[in-house]
Structure 1
Amino acid sequence: MLEAVIFVVFPFCMLFAAISDILSMTIANRVPVLLLATFALVAPLTGMDWATYGGHFAAGALVLAVTFGLFALGGMGGGDAKLLAATAVWMGLNISLVGYLVTSTLIGGMLTVAILAYRKSPLAAYTGHNRFLRHFADESVGIPYGVALGLGGIVTFPDSPLMVWALDRLTA
C-alpha cells in the first residue's frame, strides 16, 4: 500500500502541474501542499532516519529560498518556485536533487526555444486558438515552465530515495 502511494502521488502531481500550467499558466497551491504532506507522512513509514528526513526538508527550504529570490526579481513564477521546493523535498540533499534540477533546466531550455520558435512561426496564427496551444502562441505571456518541472520530475523520479525504497520492496 505504501509503495502504491509513492508510485502514484508524485507522478500525478507532476503531470497535473504540467497540464495545469499549459492550460492556465498557473500551478495550484494544492499541488506542492499535497507533495509536502504526502512526503511528511510516508517517509517516516519507510524507515527513513530522522537526520535524512530533516535533510529532505532542508533541501526544500534551500530551493525555496533561491526560487523565492528569483520570483522576487521577476525571473520565475510563484507556482514554479513552490513546485520546485516541494519536489526538492522528495529528492533530498543528494544527487537526485542535482539530477532533477539539471534535467528540468535542460527540458526548460528546449521548451523555451521551441515555444519562441513556435511564436514566430505562421503556425502560431492558425493554432493559437487551441486550448492547449493558446499560451504557447501568446507572446504577451511567459513560458509555462511547470511543463519542464513536471517532466523533469517524472524523468528523475525513479532515482529518488522513496522510489528506490519502493522498488527495492517490490523486488525483495
Structure 2
Amino acid sequence: MLEALIFVVFPFCMVFSAVSDTLSMTIANRVPLLLLGVFLVVAPLTGMAWTDIGIHLAAGVLLLAVTFALFAFGGMGGGDAKLIAATGVWMGFGMPLMQYLLTSAVLGGLLTLAILYFRSSALSHITGQNMFLRNFSKDADGVPYGIALGLGGLVTFPASPLVVWAVERLAAQ
C-alpha cells in the first residue's frame, strides 16, 4: 500500500501539473499541497529518520524562498514556484534534486525555444484557437513551464529516496 502511494501520487501530480499548465497556464495549489501532505504521511512510515525528513523539508523551504523571489521579480509563475518546492521535498538535498533542477531547466529551455519558434510561425495563427495549443500561440503570455517541471520530475523520480526505498522493499519480497 505504501509503495503504491509512492509510485502513483508523485507521477500523477507531475502529469496533472503539465496538462493543467498546458491547458490553463495555471498549476492548482492542491497539487503541491498533495505532494507535501503525502510526503509527510509516507516518509515516517518508510522509516526515514526525522532528521532526514527535516532535511527534505528544508530543501523545499529553500527552493520556495528562491522561486518566490523569482516570482516576485516576474521571472516565474507562482504555481511553478510552489511545484518546484514541493518536488524538492520529495527529492531532498542531494543528487536527485540537482538532477531534477538541471533536467527541468534544460527541458524548460528547449520548451521555451520551441514555443518562441512556434509563435513566429504561420501555424500559430491557424492553431491559436485549439484548446491544447492556444497557450503556445502569439496571443499567449509566458511559457507553460509546468510542462518542463512535470517531465523533469518524471525523469528524475526513480532516483528519489522514497522510490529507492520502495524498489528495495519490493525487491526483498
Aligned to 1:151: 151
Aligned-residue offset at 1:52:
0.6
Aligned to 2:43: 43
Instruction: Output the CA distance in 1 between the equivalents of 2:127 and 2:77.
Output: 25
Residue type of the partner of 1:97?
Answer: L
Aligned to 1:16: 16
Residue type of the partner of 1:118?
Answer: F
Aligned to 1:27: 27
Q: Hey, which bits of structure 1, 4+ residues long, moved more than 4 A?
A: none
Instruction: Output the CA distance in 2 between the equivalents of 1:171 and 1:163.
Output: 12
Aligned to 2:79: 79
- Secondary structure of 2:130's counterpart equals coil
Residue type of the partner of 2:57?
Answer: F
Instruction: Output the CA distance in 2 between the equivalents of 1:37 and 1:138.
Output: 38
Could you state the TM-score of these two structures normalised by the residue count of structure 2?
0.98
The answer on 1:106 being equivalent to 2:106 is yes
Aligned-residue offset at 1:139:
4.0
Instruction: Output the CA distance in 1 between the equivalents of 2:3 and 2:140.
Output: 43
Total equivalences in the alignment: 172
Instruction: Output the CA distance in 2 between the equivalents of 1:92 and 1:23.
Output: 30
| Matched-pair contact (CA < 8 Å) for 2:134–2:140 | no
Residue type of the partner of 1:49?
Answer: A
Q: Point out the more displaced range, 124-133 or 6-15.
A: 124-133
Instruction: Output the CA distance in 1 between the equivalents of 2:26 and 2:138.
Output: 15
Residue type of the partner of 1:4?
Answer: A
Instruction: Output the CA distance in 1 between the equivalents of 2:49 and 2:161.
Output: 12
- Segments of 5+ residues of structure 1 without an aligned counterpart are none
Instruction: Output the CA distance in 1 between the equivalents of 2:21 and 2:138.
Output: 14
Instruction: Output the CA distance in 2 between the equivalents of 1:28 and 1:117.
Output: 28
Aligned to 2:117: 117
Q: CA RMSD in A?
A: 0.7
Aligned-residue offset at 1:128:
1.5
Aligned-residue offset at 1:10:
0.1
Aligned-residue offset at 1:138:
3.2
The answer on 1:54 being equivalent to 2:54 is yes
- Segments of 5+ residues of structure 2 without an aligned counterpart are none
Q: Point out the more displaced range, 136-145 or 28-37.
A: 136-145
Instruction: Output the CA distance in 2 between the equivalents of 1:53 and 1:16.
Output: 25
